[in-house]
């Protein structure tokens, strides 16, 4: 799925940065960039815009005001340097909220969230892949090939069944968990997410993948036992 997106920001540097982020994200297509909400009102192709990266603080017409004028089909990601706008952003049903200066990692997570939302709306079947940033590149990962994910301090390791080395990505376990369909993946520990259908061996309360033993923490044992009961 490719989303048509537009950017509105009265700061030239911010506008340029977001444009560069969109251009290097394979599933986003830039259809417009505007230096004010007033300009966007005249030129933005409303019916074609899936995702809008919208600055809040702008002269004449601010982002919160403009967000109430656009097509409800368009999903909004607010961008601002002021954190106090977050609550107002969610009141107008914003998809996400990015605080400046915006890193590409944060941008990509918001973009992934947008794709996930549109896939849920337009396609009843679950998505087959996700994109993650690794070593300055975007890598497409087929969900069916994931064995498990290990969380480190600021990174995650994604272990695939056809790869010796895991994929290392700068993102949180929470963000990764939100990207994965719960029908196929489950958290079993603060540091581990596993794909349910890939579980073959359980040894003394631990999931075994080759030579790796994954513990099941107390807070997840009940949910894991329910999963096992459903398959027995």
Domain covering 136-230 assigned CATH 3.30.930.10 in the classification: no
pTM over 0.85: no
Q: Report the candidate in 134, 127, 189 with the shortest Cα–Cα distance to residue 157.
A: 134
**What is the pLDDT tens value at each position of the chain, 232 positions in all?**
899 999 999 999 999 999 999 999 999 999 999 999 999 989 998 778 999 999 988 888 888 888 888 887 899 999 988 766 554 554 566 888 899 999 999 999 999 999 988 887 766 556 789 999 998 889 999 999 999 999 998 899 999 998 989 999 998 898 899 889 888 999 999 999 999 999 999 999 999 998 999 999 999 999 999 888 887 7
Q: What is the largest CA-CA distance in the chain?
A: 65
pLDDT of res. 126: 64
Per-domain boundaries in the chain:
3-122, 136-230
Fold type of domain 3-122: Rossmann fold (3.40.50)
Location of structure tokens 């403009």: 66
């Amino acid at each position: 799925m490719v989303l048509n997106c537009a950017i509105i920001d009265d700061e030239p540097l911010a506008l340029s940065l977001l444009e560069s982020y969109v251009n290097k994200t394979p599933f986003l297509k830039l259809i417009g960039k505007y230096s004010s909400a007033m300009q966007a009102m005249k030129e933005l192709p409303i019916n074609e815009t899936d995702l809008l990266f919208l600055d809040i603080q702008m002269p004449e017409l601010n982002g919160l005001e403009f967000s109430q004028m656009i097509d409800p089909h368009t999903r909004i990601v607010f961008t601002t340097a002021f954190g106090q706008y977050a609550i107002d952003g969610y009141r107008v049903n914003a998809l996400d909220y990015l605080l400046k200066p915006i890193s590409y990692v944060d941008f990509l997570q918001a973009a992934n969230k947008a794709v996930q939302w549109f896939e849920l709306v337009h396609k009843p079947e679950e998505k087959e892949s996700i994109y993650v940033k690794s070593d300055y590149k975007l890598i497409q990962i087929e969900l069916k090939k994931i064995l498990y994910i290990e969380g480190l301090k600021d990174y995650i390791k994604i272990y695939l069944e056809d790869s010796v080395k895991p994929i290392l990505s700068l993102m949180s376990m929470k963000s990764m968990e939100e990207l994965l369909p719960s029908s196929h993946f489950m958290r079993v520990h603060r540091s581990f997410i596993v794909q349910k259908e890939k579980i073959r061996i359980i040894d003394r309360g631990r999931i075994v993948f080759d030579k790796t033993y994954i513990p099941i923490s107390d807070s997840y044992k009940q949910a894991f036992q329910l999963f096992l009961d459903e398959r027995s």
